Chain A
């Protein structure tokens, strides 16, 4: 008998169904996967279960009894734990204090010794190695995730919900994480894992519920299905795996980084002695777990990050002294991983955002006076060419904050990929996009490459890197851990480099 049953759950936000009569169940000793694209309603559904939202209709049965949690605390008290995509840990507190934070059994005087004993015991039992006295801010992302899981286990939950748990992990960390999940499953925990990665579902789950556009499409037993069937249900069509990569016609060097390092006061080097080159007509993929210097690398090349040592050459010319604008004019385009912070002024409208680079050029302005007609003309042309959808009524005057992520990204790409662009620095260009927009962006990058431009593709998504890149550089700890040719690159090799095993050791496995 299922420990949890959610029946016909509905939830709408201002008239749009995020959940349209969705049912979901979980059993003790089983791992249920919840599969769907971005915006399919996965997170909304578990947020309803966890008491963050209230369902418009439908019923939740927990241990056979109808329940309605009004807050996460109620859900936790009832025995449901959730590890959110973005961890909710107090960075400056220790692991131990984070785990016992807001525990219902807490007295005025905390019994830290007893708590620590229990944490060590739990950690050993399930392979969640952690030092209870370490401060959270000193931990890796994988370790922080372990703290989150321990936090739930410490509260004697019976059901554990994991929202996109592997997005931030290296392949090796993921393998270990799956071990932990199997241990938990064998101990009788019910587990719901939310993900959009087929391989993980096949590897770990017992049953799959697939959502699309807020509706439940189907329940499947994992053992009786395969990835292509899953993807068919999830997106309604087969995934396109192969991009038209013309045989490598890479020309001369376009971008050269020579011993670039970046120091910050008192901290470790965000970038250490980076030397690499990007040729014309080539996509150089940069893989690595996020936060290993990729962002700094992109900003050194685009000129946003100043005060680095070493040299950056574009077209054989040293660009060290050139400003962001000068570099753009010389052909450096930038698609940042943080659309809202770096690339868009979300309170301005579509037309104005398309102009962020060229507002001071003719015909968009003449001797400092803006020409709104030319700007609008440009906006309409870009909306056509790049299929940017804005609200029907306001069109080019739509505030960017009201546009969907995919359309925002198209806007940025429309602005950056001008005729004059020579080098495209694309950082996580498909993050948060649905399948359609993702393919659109990937095809554009490939066609830029085929036109003879250079592309530096930074991505945490290994599949993306491997599908698009001619060569793959892997970053670890601010260094280039290794550069692999397309033919030699395997998930295994890249994974080891991402985990900090240097290139030489990959060549000679022990």
Chain B
């Protein structure tokens, strides 16, 4: 066991070294000094209180969408549709926040977010339905649903949701009392971040401490055995799809109510796709999702400061994340190969 732990640490170090080498190479290739770049990277993150708070602003949608992916993946429901569910949630939340002007602020916020959660959950359930009824892979269905949701939002902000006061493709501004409040002055640290962390804790408790989590895990690891022992596979897939979609949609709703204060295109900044990677890196563990999402956001903030001041493209963060995911998956491939060899000897 101990050697295993050292092995794990060693693997992390190896991945870190490769990451550093790749990024240094990329920085050198665009003619900048790596030392200066890294100094700016660190200063970007810890330079000021507001930039540090910005990490959590960036992390908030990532935490919720990745959490959704993690739940789905654990149950063997490969939901690639967090992006689409995010948009569905953003739309539903916007509609409720805009069209219930007489409801008091706090209740309106709650209603808007719940509506977003429900709509996103139902949107994901469509994929579960296709899987159950027609045996079509949920991967394909959720990707198709992404196209529909993303483009429907584009349609909505140009037609019935378009701000009557302007001719830009975006909705009217959400009234101040229906916005999620800032919690720390002179930063963008908002109440949605607290909601996200709270969701992490709830999901962690659900997965680790309750019979619901036990069922989800059993279904995810061996559907057939779960069914043979009397656990309903369908019920659990539906539940995990609903929660998964709901959480991604909640991210969309919070982004509208706390950051943009209106609905517009490309509001997700692709966090629904990044979420898949974060869930993979975190091994679908809710607490690890929180950590990885924050780390990812920090890297993004650091890279942005590099880009602003040195002209080093912040895209290198995404290159590195891609490389890290490949390394992690590669490691799993290697170890499963070893497992296979170990299995052979038993025959």
B209 near A324 with CB under 8 A, answer no
Chain B residue nearest in CB terms to A357:
B229
Minimum distance in angstroms from A199 CB to a CB of chain B: 24
Q: What is the 8 Å Cβ interface bit string for chain A, positions 365-402, against chain B (1 contact, 0 not)?
A: 10011100000000000000000000001100000000
B209 near A345 with CB under 8 A, answer no
| A residues less than 8 Å from B225 (CB atoms) | 341-345, 356
A window 343-363: CB within 8 A of B: 343-348, 352, 355-357, 359-360
| B residues less than 8 Å from A369 (CB atoms) | 209-211
A334 within 8 A of B: yes
A336 within 8 A of B: yes
Chain B residue nearest in CB terms to A339:
B225
| B residues less than 8 Å from A448 (CB atoms) | none
B window 194-250: CB within 8 A of A: 209-215, 217-218, 221-222, 224-231
A352 near B214 with CB under 8 A, answer yes
Taking A43-B347, A345-B218, A347-B221 as contacts, is the C-beta distance between A302 and B209 under 8 angstroms? no
Minimum distance in angstroms from A5 CB to a CB of chain B: 24
B window 129-165: CB within 8 A of A: none
Minimum distance in angstroms from A480 CB to a CB of chain B: 24
Taking A324-B229, A334-B228 as contacts, is the C-beta distance between A13 and B211 under 8 angstroms? no
B230 near A325 with CB under 8 A, answer yes
Q: Is the interface of B mostly helix, strand, loop or mixed?
A: helix
B345 within 8 A of A: yes
B346 within 8 A of A: yes
Taking A13-B345, A39-B346, A356-B229 as contacts, is the C-beta distance between A370 and B218 under 8 angstroms? no
| A residues less than 8 Å from B29 (CB atoms) | none
B107 within 8 A of A: no
Chain A residue nearest in CB terms to B212:
A368
B342 within 8 A of A: yes
Chain B residue nearest in CB terms to A338:
B224
A304 within 8 A of B: yes
**Residue with the greatest number of chain B CB neighbours at <10 A, chosen from A16, A44, A325, A345:** A345
Minimum distance in angstroms from B1 CB to a CB of chain A: 6
B226 near A345 with CB under 8 A, answer yes
Minimum distance in angstroms from B284 CB to a CB of chain A: 12
B228 near A13 with CB under 8 A, answer no
Taking A346-B222, A348-B217, A356-B218 as contacts, is the C-beta distance between A323 and B211 under 8 angstroms? no
Taking A328-B230, A356-B225 as contacts, is the C-beta distance between A14 and B210 under 8 angstroms? no
| A residues less than 8 Å from B230 (CB atoms) | 303, 323-326, 328, 357
Number of residues from A at the complex interface, CB < 8 A = 37
Number of residues from B at the complex interface, CB < 8 A = 24
A231 to B225, CA, bound (A): 36
A211 within 8 A of B: no
| B residues less than 8 Å from A336 (CB atoms) | 228
A359 to B228, CA, bound (A): 15
B211 near A359 with CB under 8 A, answer yes
Indicate which residue in B210, B224, B229, B346 contacts A341 across the interface (CB closer than 8 Å).
B224
Minimum distance in angstroms from A144 CB to a CB of chain B: 20
A18 within 8 A of B: yes
Minimum distance in angstroms from B2 CB to a CB of chain A: 10
A365 to B222, CA, bound (A): 22
A264 to B213, CA, bound (A): 34
A394 to B1, CA, bound (A): 9
Minimum distance in angstroms from A37 CB to a CB of chain B: 14
A232 to B222, CA, bound (A): 41
A452 to B194, CA, bound (A): 60
A370 near B209 with CB under 8 A, answer yes
| A residues less than 8 Å from B210 (CB atoms) | 365, 368-370
A348 to B228, CA, bound (A): 16
A65 to B234, CA, bound (A): 61
A356 to B345, CA, bound (A): 29
Chain B residue nearest in CB terms to A52:
B344
Indicate which residue in A18, A346, A359, A393 contacts B214 across the interface (CB closer than 8 Å).
A359
Minimum distance in angstroms from A380 CB to a CB of chain B: 19
Chain A residue nearest in CB terms to B205:
A369
Chain A residue nearest in CB terms to B1:
A393
A window 1-39: CB within 8 A of B: 13-14, 16, 18, 39
A-B contact pairs, 17 of them (CB 8 A): A13-B345, A14-B345, A324-B228, A325-B231, A328-B229, A336-B228, A343-B225, A343-B229, A345-B218, A345-B225, A352-B218, A356-B229, A360-B211, A368-B210, A368-B212, A369-B211, A370-B209
Given A342-B224, A342-B228, A348-B218, list of 9 further CB < 8 A pairs?
Answer: A323-B230, A324-B229, A324-B230, A341-B225, A345-B226, A346-B222, A352-B217, A369-B211, A370-B211
Chain B positions within 8 Å of A, measured between CB atoms, are 1, 209-215, 217-218, 221-222, 224-231, 342, 345-347
Sort A-B residue pairs by CB-CB distance and give the 4 closest, nearest first: A325-B230, A13-B345, A324-B230, A356-B229
